Amino acid sequence: MSSQDTQSTTEDAQLRAGIDRSLRHPVMFFLCSGAAWLAVSILLGVIASAKMHHPEFLSSCPLLSYGRVFPAHMNVLIYGWAMQAAFAVIIWLMARLSRKECRSAGTILTAGHIWNLGVTMGTLGILGGYGTGIQWMEFPVFAWPVLLISYFIIIIWSFIQFRVRPKGQVYVTQWYLLAAMVWFPWIYITANTLIHCLEGHPVMAAGINAWFRSGMLLLFFTPVALGAAYYLAPKVTGRPVFSYALAKLGFWSLAIIAPWAGMQKLAGAPIPAFLPYVGAAATALIFIPACTAAVNMLCTVLSDKDTLSKSPSLRFVTAGITGLIILACSAVLLNLPFDGFNTLQLSQFSISGYGFDVLGIYGFFSLVMFGATYFIVPRITRREWVSKRLISMHFLLSCYGVVFVALVAIFGGLMQGLGIEDWKTNDLARANPYAWAVTISWSLILLSNVFFLLHLALMWMRLGRRSTHPTLLVSSHDHASPHGEEGDIDNAGEIEPAH
């Protein structure tokens, strides 16, 4: 190795360390408060789900009535956890890929606090009986400008970093993240102004709301998760992305198809009849971008099976990508408007819509975000994860739980749909066992996230292991420590193996 190379490698390492240090506080803040909101959301989800089969459960308390707990559950999941996890991943990845330190950590941190204040007030508003009744926008109307402004203050620095980056190729991750950063405010402003500020037709407002929900899932959470996966998979395995052409196809097909999706939820309602059917077609076609990206990822990851079994981040990312494939298949399955196999009319007003949302937000997006968390946090805190057992508990319970919630809700929803269409039967009796299953699996997920939150809090307090060896999921019988190799305790740099 020439001396010039050594020098540039050292400079590189210093630059990376500098970037990580500059973002430590904002990223840890978003991840920790996000994880706390996630636990709150799942707790609310368990309560809401229990009320599906036991309506009298906790019914004397107005704050905890089903009609308020369920919207609070979804909104906290989206704005409390998912958006904040996305912020952490976006600002860190954009800084790393633009090779620029963050100079505005304080501003981002302040905006992050305002965001959390907005979410808190909004959630209390829903529970207190001031919800708007517009799905995923149930926060009282005062909340959306607060969230929007803090979003801009958090994200604008990543744009600036991208503009002033050193010249070079733009990586796939950057396409996805930049696009998501543009799409979110666009759909958020559109939906809120058209519904809250301009007077329009009430049914069209419901249509715009359905488009907004689909846009949040397909045009913000999906690209952020895919961007993170495109960064992590090659980085952890050390192999290049399987195919650049596939990556391009995946990105542009998402950009072209996803904005049309969403209004299939209004099939049969009095809006122009082409809107629901365009929405159904676009949602089914999401299969193309989703599977293109998923195949690309899996081919990259499976080229190194050994790392896949050991690395927590890679395991979570791969599980999330598997979730994306299931999501893509159910997008097709739930939206077919054909005579004789009209699953659109079966799923339209059944719990399978909830299953689809949970599959997208938890089974795909959140799992990838967990993978990113397991990768990012040791780098910014300069400590390794405390316990591999906590990680594998989190992994197993999350995966089993979400598969259960999503599949049960999707298929239970189709059964319920059959009950609704067959007007002589009692459709609720059909949905009831599935509602039970959803409660049980949310409880599993709650347990797994208590582990995650605890682990993350330990890392935040800088109580992680001081070691140069990352915490890997290896089941070793020959090591004394249950947490992996100890390595260099002082974290002062690599030491030569003693033997």
Partner 1 sequence: MSLRTFILGLVASFGIAWLAVVVIPFFKMRSLEPIVHAEGTEQAGEVFFPKRTGRIVNGAAVYAANGCYLCHTQVIRPTYAGNDMFRSDWGGLADDEDRGDTRRETNAWDFLGESYAHIGVTRMGPDLSNFGRRLEANYLEEGQSPEDWIYYHLYRPFNRADLRIGRATCPPHPFLFEKKKIAGQGSDEALDVDACEGHEVVPGSEVKALASYLISLKKDQAVPAQLDFSPGKK
> What part of residues 67-86 is at the interface with partner 1 (CB under 8 A)?
67-68, 70-71
* Closer residue to partner 1 in complex, CB, 70/79: 70
Instruction: Name the DSSP class of 80.
Output: I
The reply to whether 436 sits near partner 1 by the rule CB under 8 A is no
Positive or negative, the Cα torsion across 415, 221, 363, 57?
Answer: negative
Torsion-angle region of residue 268: left (phi > 0), alpha (psi -120 to 50) or beta? left
Residue 305 and residue 236 in contact, taking contact as beta carbons nearer than 8 Å: no
For residue 200, the SS3 value is coil
- Residue 49: CB atoms within 10 A of its CB come to 27
Residues 198-227 that bind partner 1 (CB under 8 A): 198-208, 211, 219
- Applying CB under 8 A, among 8, 103, 129, 463 the residue interacting with partner 1 is 129
The reply to whether 259 sits near partner 1 by the rule CB under 8 A is yes
The reply to whether 190 sits near partner 1 by the rule CB under 8 A is yes
Distance CA 108, CA 160 (A): 13
* Closer residue to partner 1 in complex, CB, 197/489: 197
The reply to whether 240 sits near partner 1 by the rule CB under 8 A is no
| Structural Rg of the chain based on CA atoms | 23
Among the listed ranges 92-100, 229-237, 257-265, 461-469, the one in contact with partner 1 (CB under 8 A) is 257-265
The reply to whether 405 sits near partner 1 by the rule CB under 8 A is no
In whole angstroms, the minimum distance from the beta carbon of 65 to partner 1 comes to: 6
Q: What angle do CA 92, 98, 100 make, to 5 degrees?
A: 75
Residues 268-297 that bind partner 1 (CB under 8 A): 268-272, 275-276, 278-279
Residue showing tokens 């930049």? 178
Tokens for 254, please give them.
Answer: 């998402």
Residue 449 and residue 394 in contact, taking contact as beta carbons nearer than 8 Å: yes
* Closer residue to partner 1 in complex, CB, 416/471: 416
In whole angstroms, the minimum distance from the beta carbon of 51 to partner 1 comes to: 6
* Closer residue to partner 1 in complex, CB, 103/201: 201
In whole angstroms, the minimum distance from the beta carbon of 70 to partner 1 comes to: 6
Q: How far is CA 381 from CA 287, 378, 388, 459, 462, in A?
A: 38, 5, 17, 7, 7
Distance CA 180, CA 196 (A): 23
- Applying CB under 8 A, among 195, 301, 415, 458 the residue interacting with partner 1 is 195
Among the listed ranges 51-59, 102-110, 237-245, 462-470, the one in contact with partner 1 (CB under 8 A) is 51-59
> How many residues sit in the footprint of partner 1 (CB under 8 A)?
81
Which of 320, 330, 345 is closest to 410 using CA atoms? Answer: 330
The reply to whether 55 sits near partner 1 by the rule CB under 8 A is yes
Residues 414-433 that bind partner 1 (CB under 8 A): 416, 420-423, 426-428, 431
Among the listed ranges 1-9, 45-53, 458-466, 478-486, the one in contact with partner 1 (CB under 8 A) is 45-53
Torsion-angle region of residue 102: left (phi > 0), alpha (psi -120 to 50) or beta? beta
Residue 412 and residue 485 in contact, taking contact as beta carbons nearer than 8 Å: no
* Closer residue to partner 1 in complex, CB, 128/240: 128
The reply to whether 56 sits near partner 1 by the rule CB under 8 A is yes
* Closer residue to partner 1 in complex, CB, 69/377: 69
